[in-house]
C-alpha cells in the first residue's frame, strides 16, 4: 500500500506519546466503551472499513471479527506496532492528511478525532477516503468532556504564566460546530448527539493524567511536572473522587453517524 498519510502530525498533539503497556493499564476502557460504535456502523462481511485512530487495535480486532476487511491507522508508531502484533493491517498516518481515495465503505473512529486540532482537515480526509454512499460512525470527546480535569490543567498552566490554549492537544466540539463542519464538507448527518458518560477510572487520576495529558506537561519545566499533577489531582478531587477513593471522570461523548451521499 502507498503511504496512507500525506503529511506529518503537528504540535501539541505530537507531544503526546503512547506506550502500549501504560495504555493497556490505564485506558483499556476506551476500546471497551467504544463497542456501541460497532452497532452504529453495522459493518457487513466483506466491506472495507477504515479505523481512524486504531490505537493498540483492541476495538479494531472486534471490527475485523465481523468479517469486514479492516485497515487501521494511528499517528503513534508504538500503538501501530501493538495493533500489527494482533495480526491487523495497521499503518502510521495522520488522520488529518490521509491519502486514501474513495476506497472504503465505512469509517469507524473511536476517541481519536478530539486529538485532531484541524477538524476540517480530518473531515476532508474522511470524505476522500469514502466511496459515495459510504458512512462514518464516530465517537469523540464533546463540549464539556473531562471539564473538571481540563479546567484544573488550564488553571495550573495559567498560574505558571504558560499559554494553555497553545499547549492544549484536545478539541471537544459542540453538536452544532461538528454538524456544521460535516455538512459543510458535503456529508449528510444521520445522527449526532452529546452523551454525558461518567467514566470510572481503572486507577488513580494521576495515572490517567500521565496517560492522556502529556502535552500539557510538556509545556512545563521537568522539575515542575509532578507538582502540576499533584495540584490537578487536588483540585479535581472534591468533584471526581468517590467516597471509596476511586475516581469517576466526567466524560462527555459526541457520537455521530454521517453519510457521504451517493453520486
Ligand atoms: C476522551 O477519550 O474523551 C479523552 C481522551 C483523552 C483526553 C481526554 C479525553
CA 139 to chain centroid: 8
User: What pLDDT sits at residue 10?
Assistant: 43
Q: How many angstroms separate the alpha carbon of residue 68 from the centre of ligand 1?
A: 27
Which one of 251, 253, 254, 255 would you pick to mutate in the ligand 1 pocket, going by the greatest count of ligand atoms within 8 A of its CB? Answer: 251
User: What pLDDT sits at residue 103?
Assistant: 97
Asked if residue 94 has pLDDT above 70, the reply is yes
User: What pLDDT sits at residue 171?
Assistant: 97
Q: Is 111 in the pocket of ligand 1 (CB under 6 A)?
A: yes
Architecture of domain 11-147+169-201+250-259: 3-Layer(aba) Sandwich (3.40)
Q: How far is 200 from 30, CA to CA, in rounded Å?
A: 11
User: What pLDDT sits at residue 5?
Assistant: 59
Q: What pTM was computed for the model? A: 0.91
Asked if residue 34 has pLDDT above 90, the reply is no
Q: Tell me which residue of 57, 187, 179 sits closest to 130, measured CA to CA.
A: 187
Q: Tell me which residue of 216, 56, 31, 47 sits closest to 139, measured CA to CA.
A: 31
| Burial of 115 from C-beta contacts in 10 A (0-12 / 13-18 / 19+) | buried
Hey, what's the cell of 68? 469486514
Q: Is 212 in the pocket of ligand 1 (CB under 6 A)?
A: yes
The residue count for the chain? 263
Local confidence band at 9 (pLDDT 50, 70, 90 cut-offs): very low
Q: How many angstroms separate the alpha carbon of residue 145 from the centre of ligand 1?
A: 7
Hey, what's the cell of 194? 452529546
Q: How many angstroms separate the alpha carbon of residue 206 from the centre of ligand 1?
A: 14
> How many other CB atoms are found less than 10 A from the CB of residue 134?
24
Hey, what's the cell of 35? 463497542
Asked if residue 189 has pLDDT above 70, the reply is yes
Amino acid at each position: 500500500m502507498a503511504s496512507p498519510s500525506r503529511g506529518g502530525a503537528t504540535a501539541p498533539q505530537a507531544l503526546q506519546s503512547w506506550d502500549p503497556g501504560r495504555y493497556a493499564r490505564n485506558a483499556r476502557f476506551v476500546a471497551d466503551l467504544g463497542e456501541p460504535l460497532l452497532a452504529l456502523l453495522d459493518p457487513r462481511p466483506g466491506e472495507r472499513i477504515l479505523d481512524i485512530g486504531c490505537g493498540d487495535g483492541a476495538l479494531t480486532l472486534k471490527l475485523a471479527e465481523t468479517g469486514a476487511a479492516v485497515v487501521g491507522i494511528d499517528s503513534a508508531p508504538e500503538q501501530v506496532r501493538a495493533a500489527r502484533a494482533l495480526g491487523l493491517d495497521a499503518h502510521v498516518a495522520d488522520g488529518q492528511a490521509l491519502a486514501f481515495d474513495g476506497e472504503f465503505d465505512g469509517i469507524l473512529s473511536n476517541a481519536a478525532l478530539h486529538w485532531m486540532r484541524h477538524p476540517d482537515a480530518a473531515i476532508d480526509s474522511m470524505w476522500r477516503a469514502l466511496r459515495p454512499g459510504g458512512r462514518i460512525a464516530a465517537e469523540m470527546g464533546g463540549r464539556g468532556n473531562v471539564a473538571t480535569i481540563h479546567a484544573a490543567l488550564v488553571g495550573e498552566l495559567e498560574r505558571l504564566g504558560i499559554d494553555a490554549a497553545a499547549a492544549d492537544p484536545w478539541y471537544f466540539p459542540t453538536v452544532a460546530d461538528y454538524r456544521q463542519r460535516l455538512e459543510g464538507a458535503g456529508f449528510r448527518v444521520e445522527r449526532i448527539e452529546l452523551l454525558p458518560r461518567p467514566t470510572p477510572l481503572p486507577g488513580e487520576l494521576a495515572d490517567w493524567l500521565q496517560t492522556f495529558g502529556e502535552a500539557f506537561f510538556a509545556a512545563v519545566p521537568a522539575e515542575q511536572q509532578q507538582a502540576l499533577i499533584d495540584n490537578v489531582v487536588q483540585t479535581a478531587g472534591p468533584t471526581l473522587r468517590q467516597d471509596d477513593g476511586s475516581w469517576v471522570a466526567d466524560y462527555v461523548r459526541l457520537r455521530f453517524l454521517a453519510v457521504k451521499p451517493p453520486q
